[in-house]
Structure 1
Amino acid sequence: MRHLMLATLLSTIVPAAMAHASPDARADTGPLALDQVHLVDVEQARTSPPRCVRIEYGRLARIDDAGDPACLRAARRIDLGGRYLLPGLVDMHAHHTLGPLEIVGEGADMVVQALPDDAIAAHNARRLVAFGVTTIRNPGGDLAAAARYRDALALGALTGPEAFDAGPVINNAELPGLAVAVHDAQEMERVVEAQVEAGADWIKLYTGLSPALLQAGIDAAHRHGRPAVAHLDGVAWPDALAMGLDGIVHLMPLSPDLLDAPQRAAWQAGSRGATWSFFEWWEHFDPDGPGGDALVAAFERHRPVFDATLVAFHAAFVQDDPDNPYRTDARELAPARLLASWNGGFTFAMGWEPGDFVRARAIWTKVQRMAVRLHATGARMTVGTDMGNPWVAPGISLHREMQLLAEAGVSAPQVLLAATRNGAEALGAGTRLGRIAEGYEADLLVLDANPLDDITRTRGIHAVVLDGRYLDRATLDRFTGE
């Protein structure tokens, strides 16, 4: 389907994408040798002695000792002076084509929508690459927009990360551009089949689905050879995983079934719903109590793909501080249309009072504790940001997410493993992405210092290698400054 769409899209996407393309994004010709560089082994949590990495046709052709003649032969040599080479980063939760949440119409005709925007996708693409993000999963969005993005990458009209996409999230209510409604198992089957035919790599299920429809969605996804991922709160995660769910997003379990009877009664008596639940539920939940134990046991048994997206919630919890770093990130890096929407009030903290922010920050240690417990399981832990949502700026937010995980107590090697190899394997691309090994695709990050010692060192980017193209610091700065 994607290949058939290409010809019909040439007349529209190529001129628009070319207007944003940079000549620095073009592939270098001939072999490339990255010499005098330490390889960061995220699986063994160690670095190598100085090496030479030879890249040919976008792949790692050989890895030798530094200065090895076979590695350097007839190649463009780049002396990296003892820097560190890391696999490219994977953002497992990046709504890269998503436009702002908007209300259109009046009265009975009023509609909330979040339509795709190709200019926003191009803006996000370059900034993701500038921060070393070479692969993304889009867990919900317009598949036609996703196809236009992929075609632009294939044509060389745009520089950006490889994307694995879900279609619009499947829920009990419609939201044009982002969610499609289903009401019975037959409708679920038709929607899933249509998304797969349109190119969906994943099926995304949402919070409004009943347990029966959630099960129908999981089963339909599997019949069509696709994994199912879900954002859930009403259905308890252990129950959903027992249904065969492959992945869960957001560290917001929020199910009454994870609270004991007194906790549940107290929460339900005082709950205001909506995003107030982001902290009100946690006020009654003990991450080291029976509910936390149930989550850990379910993760150990079923080993789901999971991305916590702490950054999206932490940004909301500190939104009342005008000098918080997320506002700075957004001003410098977010697409203008999204920034205008967030400044206009469409945020996760919409309607919160000053006391709500105090309460939200007070429960943050519980969120951190649950993150640490889940990362200690054998589940397929990955790293995601929820890019496209309020204050989550492209690229930099993945580094903030990694730092939040480290601050919670997850070790730097564990975070790096989640952000590289685990992400690639979760996407079904672990045989070609996520490792520095011969035959793997050359998606790499050159760092000034060893990130195994300090996760914040992932921000010290000297260069990025994307599909074998060496993008130096000056080029990356142009990507963020456009």
Structure 2
Amino acid sequence: MGTVDRRSFLAWLSTGAVAAATLGRGGSLAVAEAERGATAGEVLVLRGATVFDGTGTGATADTTVVCASGRIVAVGRGLPGGLPAGARVVDCSGAFVIPGLWDAHTHSTEITPTVPALHLVHGVTGVREMRGSPATHEVRRRIERGTLAGPRMVVASNTLDGPDSRVPGATLIETDDDAREAANAARQEGADLLKVYSFLPRDQHTAIARHADRVGLPFAGHSPSLLPVHEVIRRGQRSVEHNYGMHLSTSVDAEDYFARLAALPDEPTDPNWWGRLAPLWEREAFRTYDRGRAGALAGLFAEHGAWHVPTLAVESAYARHPTRFLDDDQAQERARRWLPASLREQWRARVQAWPEWSPERAETELAYLDARLRLVADLAEDGAPVAAGTDCGSPYVFPGVAVHDELALLVRAGLSPARALRAATRDAARCAGIADAGTVVAGAHADLVVLDADPLADIGNSRAIRAVVTRGAYLGPTERQRLFDEIERAADGSEAPQPAGPAPASCCGPPPE
């Protein structure tokens, strides 16, 4: 692919169909402001596709997308003559173009080169990494320098948790000074948000909210077990991950549940410790679900601009006992081909250590999954912003693949394929704080996926990937296969720094017995 100078590129934009363009849809090409594409660089033209642009409108047939210098500079029908020398024109007749996918809740991106590349080859062009570390920040720098294949990254702080935390390596918040220092450190290290966790008491959560605002960072993560989700949202938390606290907060007995939690012992060694019983009670509370309370909660999400990130991929994976993955040929083959041996062994050990379930418990977990799907659909129907995240990096929740699982589960819950796709494109990017990604419009980042089949007809077609465009670079079948080959060659010798600490068994999936 060649390059084109600023004058030639601007001259080209002013010719043919582009000359008559408006910023609307239909007719001729819609063009970004001239200066946005003025530096031109490499020019990519995707011609004749059906485009789902992620803005909330329908798909448009026979559409051309023009990218230059990592931005989309034109979208619409028609192709002007006199393309600049070296422009790469790809015939996408019969194909579907969607925005690059986002995963708003990931882990393990620091395991290079395999994990970042796995996102990319599966069409995930942006991630929100929910537990940052020096290694994570270095991975982001390498991707931005172009020395490592991987997605656009938004990086959280280290996990901030209460003094009773069960998360190895978490930053413990006991006092206001602790919260101040954690916020200052996150800002200094370049984190994009503060990550909060389940075992934060009320005062510590309040302190984090105050100091997040002081340093100009959002805070997001788990809804702490002692707090109703309504209270967490009112304090300004950017997103609520998983379904934690959601059924306790939408039960007809919500006030009683939280009063009982507050009265439990504050001692993790006590079998009646609140941190141990909260997730177990959640598995009772879904049976007293109140649709009206869910509607009020959805309104609160919308009012405060907060996001629900349900991570159905991990919730579904662990709704049946995870030891089944040990006998799952596809899961084991993926792990062998894509992941370093150290991570494969860590996953196997965590699954083997999972407590056994009684038949009654197994039945409850499946019923609880159905309840979570219903809650997500109800919140979406009532206007709550929903963003797709997967919690990939948890055992057998594979980076890249998991987003397509999440899309299928959102549709299974009751969202339309179009709404599910927006949750994994525009809405996930907005949840991550990136306003100019996740759409196919002039001026947006040139992150795209070219599909061989229509995802609006069948969301499973999101997996029919022909090509990925990342930062304006076209990864067609040959380039994608080369990345897959590199992932497989690297798997046993991957750089695999140990994470700051594995998530506890109660973080994602079943609670401790």
Q: In structure 1, what is the equivalent of residue 128 of structure 2? A: 137
Q: Which residue is 1:229 aligned to?
A: 220
CA distance in structure 2 between the aligned counterparts of 1:456 and 1:340, rounded to whole angstroms: 30
Q: Does 2:407 align with 1:402?
A: yes
Report which stretch shifted further, 162-171 or 173-182. 173-182
Pair 1:218 & 2:209 matched: yes
TM-score (structure 2 length as normaliser): 0.76
How do 1:75-474 residues align onto structure 2 when only pairs under 5 Å count? Answer: 75-97=87-109, 118=110, 120-142=111-133, 144-173=134-163, 178-232=169-223, 233-253=225-245, 256=248, 258-261=250-253, 264=257, 281-285=282-286, 286-289=288-291, 291-318=293-320, 319-321=322-324, 322-323=327-328, 329-346=334-351, 350-355=354-359, 356-430=361-435, 432-474=436-478
Query: Are the structure 2 counterparts of residues 303 and 373 from structure 1 closer, same or farther at C-alpha, using a change threshold of 3 Å?
Result: farther
Taking structure 1 as the reference length, the TM-score comes to 0.81
CA distance in 1, matches of 2:354, 2:276: 8
Is the partner of 2:441 in helix, strand or coil? coil
Kindly, what percent of the aligned residue pairs are identical? 27
Give the Å deviation of 1:94.
0.9
Letter of the 2:95 partner, please give it: R
Give the 3 Å change call, closer, same or farther, for CA 346–320 of structure 1 in structure 2: closer
Deviation of 1:86 after TM superposition, in Å, equals 0.7
Deviations along 1:92-131, whole A, 9 cap, x unmatched? 001133xxxxxxxxxxxxxxxxxxxx4x142111110011
| 8 Å contact from structure 2 (residues 251, 289) kept in 1 | no
User: Residues of 2 paired with 1:307 and 1:324: CA distance?
Assistant: 29
- The Cα shift of 1:50 comes to 1.0
- The 2-side partners of 1:67 and 1:445 are apart by 20
The 5 A counterparts of 1:17-96 are 30-70=42-82, 74-96=86-108
> In structure 2, what is the Cα distance between the partners aligned to 1:373 and 1:326?
32
TM-superposed CA distance for 1:394, in Å, is 0.7
Comparing 455-464 with 50-59, greater Cα deviation is found at 50-59
AA aligned opposite 1:250: H
Q: Residues of 2 paired with 1:375 and 1:305: CA distance?
A: 11
Looking at structure 1, the residues matched to 121 and 277 of structure 2 have their Cα atoms a distance apart, in angstroms, of 34
CA apart distance, 1:145 = 1.3
Equivalent residues of 2:209, 2:219 under 8 A apart: yes
Offset, 1:246: 2.0
What is the rounded CA distance, in whole Å, between the counterparts of 2:284 and 2:420 in structure 1? 27
- Tell me the SS of whatever aligns to 1:366: helix
1:171 to partner: Cα distance = 0.5
8 A Cα contact 2:137 2:155, kept in partner: no
Closer, same or farther in 2 for the Cα pair 1:374/1:271, shift >3 Å? farther
Range moving further from structure 2, 462-471 or 229-238: 229-238
SS at 2:216 equivalent: coil
Mapped partners of 1:65, 1:254: distance in 2: 45
What amino acid is the match of 1:352?
A: E
For residue 439 of structure 2, give the secondary structure of its aligned residue in structure 1. Answer: coil
Task: Tell me the amino acid that sits aligned with residue 469 of structure 1.
Answer: A
Residues 189 and 256 of structure 1: CA distance in aligned 2, closer, same or farther (over 3 Å):
same
| Number of residue-to-residue matches in the alignment | 431
Q: Is the 8 A contact 1:39 1:48 kept in 2?
A: yes
CA distance in 2, matches of 1:320, 1:202: 34
Change (3 A) 1:145 1:181: same
| 1:333, distance to aligned residue in structure 2 (A) | 3.8
Q: 1:51 offset after TM fit, Å?
A: 2.1
Change (3 A) 1:83 1:275: farther
Alpha-carbon distance in 2 for matches of 1:332, 1:363: 33
Once residues 91 and 77 of structure 1 are traced to their aligned partners in structure 2, the CA distance between those partners, rounded to angstroms, is 29
- Amino acid across the alignment from 2:282: W
- Indicate how the Cα distance of structure 1 residues 456 and 288 shifts in structure 2: closer, same or farther if over 3 A, else same: farther
In structure 1, stretches of 5+ residues that fail to align are 1-27, 98-117
Q: SS of the counterpart of 2:74? A: strand
Q: Is the 8 A contact 1:302 1:379 kept in 2?
A: no
SS for the counterpart of 1:166 is strand
Asked whether the 8 Å contact 2:162–2:204 carries over to 1, the reply is no
User: Match of 1:30, SS?
Assistant: strand
How far does residue 134 in structure 1 lie from its aligned partner after superposition? 0.4
Shift of residue 71, structure 1, vs aligned partner: 5.2
Q: Matches of 1:36 and 1:387 in 2, distance apart? A: 34
In 1, are the aligned partners of 2:239 and 2:431 still within 8 Å (CA)?
no
Deviation, 1:257, is 5.5
Quick one: which amino acid aligns to residue 371 of structure 2?
K
Task: Answer whether contact 2:51 2:63 (CA < 8 A) is retained.
Answer: yes
RMSD (Å), alpha carbons? 3.0
Partners in 1 of 2:206 and 2:339 — Cα distance?
37
Unaligned runs of at least 5 residues, structure 2: 1-39, 265-270, 489-513
Q: Cα distance 1:68–1:178, how it changes in 2: closer, same or farther (>3 A)?
A: farther
SS at match of 1:339: helix
Q: Residues 257, 181 of structure 1: CA spacing in aligned structure 2 closer, same or farther, 3 A cutoff?
A: same
Instruction: Provide the rounded CA distance (Å) in 2 between the counterparts of 1:271 and 1:451.
Output: 47
Q: Deviations over 1:1-58 (max 9, x none)?
A: xxxxxxxxxxxxxxxxxxxxxxxxxxx9732221121211333342212122222222
The whole-number CA distance in structure 2 between the counterparts of 1:316 and 1:184 is 35
Assess, with a 3 A threshold, how the Cα gap between structure 1 residues 331 and 363 changes in structure 2: closer, same or farther: farther
Q: Work out the CA distance in 2 between the residues paired with 1:478 and 1:283.
A: 49
